[in-house]
Amino acid sequence: MDNLLKELNRPKYEVIIISDSNTEFLKYKMETAEYHKIIHTTYTNPAVFDEHGILKVSSYHDQDWCMRSTVNLCKGYVLDEHIKQALKERNVIFTHVVYVGDGENDLCPAMHLRECDITFPRKGYPLMKDIENLSDDEKLKCKVVSWETGHDIIKELANLDVNHKRSHSKLICCFS
């Protein structure tokens, strides 16, 4: 994964995390591995340690509109909102969306992707099985490329035609 993160540490990429974990866990993981240097934004459940050292986790949001997601976080909604805000606030257009996931709650954002986008379900994990079990009328629009290591993702990213020299265009990479 380190080689993948080095590859993503380039101006043409914007890396975000949408996770059903929590802020304290992700902060620890990112700082110990120094991933925080390349992550643009993290969307997750807020968490704090109380006066007794007990971790208190709250919901990112409470949602009832998506049956594929947990009540506390609809990753598809968060992804759509990030893309809208990037355009509105920074005039950034994402030419491609790359979504890397492995859990059942990663199917929702994959279903939001366009034909020019890619979802990377991890081999042998629930997301891959869920994609394989979709009915014909539910099939994903995006390209599906399963992965085992970061090298699988790097190889596919090299094939993307990203005109990053064009003003305000980037490729967004989402990790769950």
Position 165 pLDDT exceeds 60? no
- Name the pTM for this structure: 0.90
β-pair partners for 121: 101
Tokens of 163: 């005109």
CA-CA distances (angstroms) from residue 27 to 48, 92, 146? 11, 26, 27
Is 44 strand, coil or helix? strand
Mean pLDDT across 2-6: 75
Q: What percent of the chain has pLDDT over 70?
A: 93
Give the containing element (helix H, strand E) for 32. Answer: helix 23-33
Domains plus CATH for the chain? 2-175 (3.40.50.1000)
Q: pLDDT higher for 91 or 36?
A: 91
Q: Which of 73, 123, 114, 102 is nearest to 176 (CA)?
A: 102
Q: Tokens 């380039």 belong to which residue?
A: 10
Q: What is the pLDDT of residues 6-40, one digit of tens each?
A: 788 888 889 999 999 999 998 888 777 667 778 88
Distances (CA, A) of 98 to 57, 67, 131, 136: 28, 23, 16, 23
In this predicted structure, the answer to whether residue 166 has a pLDDT above a threshold of 70 is no
Summarize the confidence of residues 135-140 as an average pLDDT: 92
**Cβ-count burial of 95 within 10 angstroms (0-12 exposed, 13-18 middle, 19+ buried)?**
middle
Is residue 82 within a helix (H) or strand (E), and if so which, with residue range?
helix 75-90
Q: So what's the pLDDT on residue 168? A: 58
Q: Is 65 helix (H, G, I), strand (E, B) or coil?
A: coil
